[in-house]
Amino acid sequence: MSTREARARQTVTDTEAYDMLRRHGGHSSAFLALNSGNRRFQTDGVDGFVPYREGGRRHLFQLGGPVCADGDRERLLTALLARAAAEGRRVTGVQLSRAAAELHAQHGFVVNQFGASFSIDLDGYGLGGQRMVKVRNMVNRARREGVTVTEADQGDAPALDAVDRAWLRGKGRHVKELDFLIGERGGPGAPHRRLFTAIHAGRTVGYVSYSPVFGERPGRLYDLTRRLPDAPPGTVELVFATALRTFQEEGCGWLHLGFTPFVQLRPDACAFGPTSGALRRCLELLAAKGQAVYPAASQESFKLKWRPQLIEPEYLAFQGGVSVGAVWRLMRLTKAV
């Protein structure tokens, strides 16, 4: 069978992928597997897939690890590695959970913590008390400025496009978002997202989208934020607080704040397998001085001010060891360079 025929046989439709995520998507960011540009590897006899992208001729980057029942993860990963080997590629796992990182370590991967994800248990959660006073002040400031928040199916596309363009211009040419690791407004997952928009003086000044999360901690993922540079202070906080209250009233269990790279790095995070000291030092350097690559500190600060009860490490895993080529291709893939 040719490589093209094998890929055709392994195609997973958008609907099939979504149903598999509902059954097996335990990672809080698993829904990002539906992003435009991602491919889906499947093997016979396994109800599941691995989301991935290719990097040049020699690299394959999987996002979040296998999406399948726990008992099938070994089989699906082994099949993916066999496929990559047949094509002369090395596999790199990106944004892996602890369980997925341990599985990769058992297959000879070198594993390093990449950052952390943050989650809020909505049961009994509130914005009262002294610890949340700064958040309340920002929310109330936006309200006094006349900002209102509404939920829309897809929103006013031209207005949202204008927000996107202004947001990107306002970030500056040196500050980038990590593509492949964040949500998107369109694409195959669009029908399943919730979109909350901020309106001020009759125009759309910002929005936040939320994706579904399944598995052990079901709920919603805060996955994409945009606002105009001149939006009133507190606009994003007001959108976030409105969505949080809406989800809470609907009986949603968790609000996941998503992944931030280079933060909450712990010296004992990779005690279960081989790790790269050189890569660890590079990641620590990026954590301390890497604002030009990604504004990790400000992202972490925003998430921590909501007092998340759960902070979990997430990992990078390099097949056969860390290579300059794999790191470079990953940086290109995520648009960090």
Q: Which among 306, 330, 333 is positioned nearest to 318, based on CA atoms?
A: 330
The number of angstroms, rounded, from the C-alpha of 213 to the middle of its chain's C-alpha atoms is 11
Sketch out the chain's domains with CATH numbers.
3-118+259-297+308-333 (3.40.630), 120-258 (3.40.630.30)
pLDDT of residue 141: 98
Q: How many CB atoms lie within 10 A of CB 260?
A: 27
| pLDDT reading at 223 higher than 80 | yes
Amino acid, res. 121: D
- Assign residue 212 a region (left: φ > 0; alpha: ψ between -120 and 50; beta: otherwise): beta
Q: What are phi and psi of 299, to 5 degrees?
A: -65, -45
| 274-317: pLDDT as tens digits | 999 999 999 888 888 777 667 889 999 999 999 999 999 999 99
Q: pTM of whole model > 0.85?
A: yes
Contact 46, 77 (CB under 8 A): no
User: Please, which pLDDT band fits residue 178 given cuts at 50, 70 and 90?
Assistant: low
112: part of which helix (H) or strand (E)?
strand 109-121
| C-alpha distances in Å from residue 184, one per residue of 77, 100, 177, 189, 273 | 27, 24, 12, 8, 33
Burial of 194 (0-12, 13-18, 19+ CB in 10 A): middle
pLDDT of residue 154: 67
| 233-255: pLDDT as tens digits | 999 999 999 999 999 999 999 99
Q: How many CB atoms lie within 10 A of CB 146?
A: 11
